[in-house]
C-alpha cells in the first residue's frame, strides 16, 4: 500500500528512554503519525529482526493506470458492490498458503484505499454510494484509518476527491443524518462551460469518436452548443441571452463591451451551475444521428446531422426530460426559440452568400449598373441607355434599392455614393480587376439585393417538385458552392435550401 517508510520508526522504546520516533522528531523536527500496515509490521519482526534500517525501501511514482497513489472509485450495482472494493479482503489462494484468515499475508491489498494510499482517491458520483460505503469514507477522512474484517485499523493517508451533482448534493446535505459527512467536506463548485467555442469543441470531439459514418452540417454543432450554453447563463439586465453568449465568446454584438465582462461576471454568481449538461446534448444528437441513418439508408445517401435536426432533437429531449423541472423547461424552450431566430438568420445568410457565386454574372452586371448610375448622379450627368442610346436621369430607384439593403439613409446617400466612387477609383488605379465585392460595403449591399431578387426563385424552386430547367441549374450551382466552399454535403445542402425556402415562404 505504498507504505510510509517513516512508519518503520517505532513509537515505543525501552522503558524510560525516548522512542526512535521521539528521537527522530527531536533531531529533524518531523512528526510521524500512524503505524505500519500488518504486513510490514510482520515482516519487520520476522525478516529484519525489528531493525528499521534493514528494511528495504523502494521509490514509487504515482500512476493512475498502474493504480499507484491514484485510485478511482465509482458505485456500481448495489447488489454486486462490496466494501472490500475499498478496503481489500482475504485472498483465498493465499489463505491456503498461510492457513489462517487473520494472517496479514493472506490479505489481497487490492482495495482502492491501499492503492490510493499517500495520494488521491477520486470518488465518482460519490453520493450515489450506499450508506455502508459512505461510512468507510467517513472513517477514513476522520480517523485516517480503514478496517479490514479480522484486522485492526490500518493507517492510510489519502486525499478524497469526491464529485456529485448539485441537486443530489443539496438533497443529501439537507438530511441531518449526514451532518458528520458535511462537516468533513470542503466544497468546490465546478460550473459548466459558458463559452460557445469551447462547448462546440466538446461536441466535435465526442461526435468524432462515434464509429458511425455521418456528415455534420457546418452549423449543427454551433447551434446545439449555443442552446446548451444559453441555458446555463444567468440573466443580466438589458443583456439578451444571445448577446451574453457572444460576449462571453469574445464578440461584441450588442451595446455591451468586452471590458464590462468583470462586472457582468460579478453579478452572475450562479452562472454555469444550472442548465443542460453536455451529456444531455450528446444523447440528443446521437439519437438524431441514429434516426437520420435509418431515413438516409433508404435513399442510399450518407446520413447527415443538420442544424435543423440538432435543434429539433434538443427541443424533443427537453420537452420529454424527466430531470428538468416544468419551470426550467419553459425557460429552456424560450431560450431555444431565441437561439433559433438567430440560427435562422445565419442559415439565410449562408444561402445568400452561396447564391452570389452562382449568380456571378448577375452580380457583375448589377455592380456595373450601380456604378454607372452612381457616377452620373455624383457628376450631375445623364446616363446613356446602352440599347436605345437615349439620355436618361440616373435610376434613383435602383440606387436606393441597393443602398437600403445595408441601411444607408436618404440623408447619408450622397456621402455613401461619393465614398464608393472614390474607393472604386483607387481600386482601379492599382490595376486590380473589378468584382462585385471589390468594395466591402457595396459588396454586402449587392449580395443582399440579389438575394432579395432571388428569394422568389428559391421559393418557387424548392416548393415545386420539378422546377424549370434554368432554375434547377442555378440551384445546382448553389449546392455546388455550398459543398465545395462551405463544408456542406449533398444531403445537408439541399435540406438547407428547402429549409430556407420554407422560411422565405412564411
Ligand atoms: Zn506496509
Ligand atoms: Zn451534410
Per-residue pLDDT tens for 133-170? 999 999 999 899 999 888 889 999 999 999 998 888 98
pTM more than 0.75: no
State the distance from the centre of ligand 1 to the C-alpha of 155, rounded, in angstroms: 9
305 backbone φψ class: left, alpha, beta (φ>0; ψ -120 to 50) = beta
Reply yes or no on whether the pLDDT at 366 is more than 60. Answer: yes
pLDDT digits (tens, 9 = 90+) for 240-252: 999 999 999 999 8
pLDDT digits (tens, 9 = 90+) for 176-189: 888 888 888 899 98
As a whole number, mean pLDDT of residues 190-211 equals 93
pLDDT-based confidence at 311, cuts 50/70/90? very high
Give me the pLDDT at residue 386, please.
74
Give me the pLDDT at residue 168, please.
87
Q: CA 444, CA 425: separation in Å to the nearest integer?
A: 18
Range 60-190 has CATH code 3.40.50.2300: no
Query: Which ligand number lies closest to the CA of residue 40?
Result: 1
State the distance from the centre of ligand 1 to the C-alpha of 54, rounded, in angstroms: 15
As a whole number, mean pLDDT of residues 16-44 equals 92
Query: Which ligand number lies closest to the CA of residue 35?
Result: 1
pLDDT-based confidence at 474, cuts 50/70/90? confident
Would you say 104 and 42 are in contact if contact means Cβ atoms under 8 Å apart? yes
Reply yes or no on whether the pLDDT at 230 is more than 80. Answer: yes
Report every protein residue that has its C-beta within 5 angstroms of ion ligand 1.
3, 37, 40
**Max Cα–Cα distance, the chain, nearest Å:** 126
As a whole number, mean pLDDT of residues 90-96 equals 87
As a whole number, mean pLDDT of residues 351-378 equals 86
Query: Which ligand number lies closest to the CA of residue 217?
Result: 2
pLDDT over 70 for what percent of the chain?
97
pLDDT-based confidence at 468, cuts 50/70/90? low
State the distance from the centre of ligand 2 to the C-alpha of 298, rounded, in angstroms: 16
Query: Which ligand number lies closest to the CA of residue 482?
Result: 2
Residue matched to cell numbers 482502492: 112
As a whole number, mean pLDDT of residues 414-437 equals 91
Strands of the sheet containing 120-123, edge to edge, are 70-73, 120-123, 159-162
**Mean pLDDT, the chain, as a whole number?**
89
Reply yes or no on whether the pLDDT at 85 is more than 80. Answer: yes
Domain boundaries, the chain: 1-59, 60-190, 196-340, 359-453
**Cα–chain center distance at 73:** 25
Amino acid at each position: 500500500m505504498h507504505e510510509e517508510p517513516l512508519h518503520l520508526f517505532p513509537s515505543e522504546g525501552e522503558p524510560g528512554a525516548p522512542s526512535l520516533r521521539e528521537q527522530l522528531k527531536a533531531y529533524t523536527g518531523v512528526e510521524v503519525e500512524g503505524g505500519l500496515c500488518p504486513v510490514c509490521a510482520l515482516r519487520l519482526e520476522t525478516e529484519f529482526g525489528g531493525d528499521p534500517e534493514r528494511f528495504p525501501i523502494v521509490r514509487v511514482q504515482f500512476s493512475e493506470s498502474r493504480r499507484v497513489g491514484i485510485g478511482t472509485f465509482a458505485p456500481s450495482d448495489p447488489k454486486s458492490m462490496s466494501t472490500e472494493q475499498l478496503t481489500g479482503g482475504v485472498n483465498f489462494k493465499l489463505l491456503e498458503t498461510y492457513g489462517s484468515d487473520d494472517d496479514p499475508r493472506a490479505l489481497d491489498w487490492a482495495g482502492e484505499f491501499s492503492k490510493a494510499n499517500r495520494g488521491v482517491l477520486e470518488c465518482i458520483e460519490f453520493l450515489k454510494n450506499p450508506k455502508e460505503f459512505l461510512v468507510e469514507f467517513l472513517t477514513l477522512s476522520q480517523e485516517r484509518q480503514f478496517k479490514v474484517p479480522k484486522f485492526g485499523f490500518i493507517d492510510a493517508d489519502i486525499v478524497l476527491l469526491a464529485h456529485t451533482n448539485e441537486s443530489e448534493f443539496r438533497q443529501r446535505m439537507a438530511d441531518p443524518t449526514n451532518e458528520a459527512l458535511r462537516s468533513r467536506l470542503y466544497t468546490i463548485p465546478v460550473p459548466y462551460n459558458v463559452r460557445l467555442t469551447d462547448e462546440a469543441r466538446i461536441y466535435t470531439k465526442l461526435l468524432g469518436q462515434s464509429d458511425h459514418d455521418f456528415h455534420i452540417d457546418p452549423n449543427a454543432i454551433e447551434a446545439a452548443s449555443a442552446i446548451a450554453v444559453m441555458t446555463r447563463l444567468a440573466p443580466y439586465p438589458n443583456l439578451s441571452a444571445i448577446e451574453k453568449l457572444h460576449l462571453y465568446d469574445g464578440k461584441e454584438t450588442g451595446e455591451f463591451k468586452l471590458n464590462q465582462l468583470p462586472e457582468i461576471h460579478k453579478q452572475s454568481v450562479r452562472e454555469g451551475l444550472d442548465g443542460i449538461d453536455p451529456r444531455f446534448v450528446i444523447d440528443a444528437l446521437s439519437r438524431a444521428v441514429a434516426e437520420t441513418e435509418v431515413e438516409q439508408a433508404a435513399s442510399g445517401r450518407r446520413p447527415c446531422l443538420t442544424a435543423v435536426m440538432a435543434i429539433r432533437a434538443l427541443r424533443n429531449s427537453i420537452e420529454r426530460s424527466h430531470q428538468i423541472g416544468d419551470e426550467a423547461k419553459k425557460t429552456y424552450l424560450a431560450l431555444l426559440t431565441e437561439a433559433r431566430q438567430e440560427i435562422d438568420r445565419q442559415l439565410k445568410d449562408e444561402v445568400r452568400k452561396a447564391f452570389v457565386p452562382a449568380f456571378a454574372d448577375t452580380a457583375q452586371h448589377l455592380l456595373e449598373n450601380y456604378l454607372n448610375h452612381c457616377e452620373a448622379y455624383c457628376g450631375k450627368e445623364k446616363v446613356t441607355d446602352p440599347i436605345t442610346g437615349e439620355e436618361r436621369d440616373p435610376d434613383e430607384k435602383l440606387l436606393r434599392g441597393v443602398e437600403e439593403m445595408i441601411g444607408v439613409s436618404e440623408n447619408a446617400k450622397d456621402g455613401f455614393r461619393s465614398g464608393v466612387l472614390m474607393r472604386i477609383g483607387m481600386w482601379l488605379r492599382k490595376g486590380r480587376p473589378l468584382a462585385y465585392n471589390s468594395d466591402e460595403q457595396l459588396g454586402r449591399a449587392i449580395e443582399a439585393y440579389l438575394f432579395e431578387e432571388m428569394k422568389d426563385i428559391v421559393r418557387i424552386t424548392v416548393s415545386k417538385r420539378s422546377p424549370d430547367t434554368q432554375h434547377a441549374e442555378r440551384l445546382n450551382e448553389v449546392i455546388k458552392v455550398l459543398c465545395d466552399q462551405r463544408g456542406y454535403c449533398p444531403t445537408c445542402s439541399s435540406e438547407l435550401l428547402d429549409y430556407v425556402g420554407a422560411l422565405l415562404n412564411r
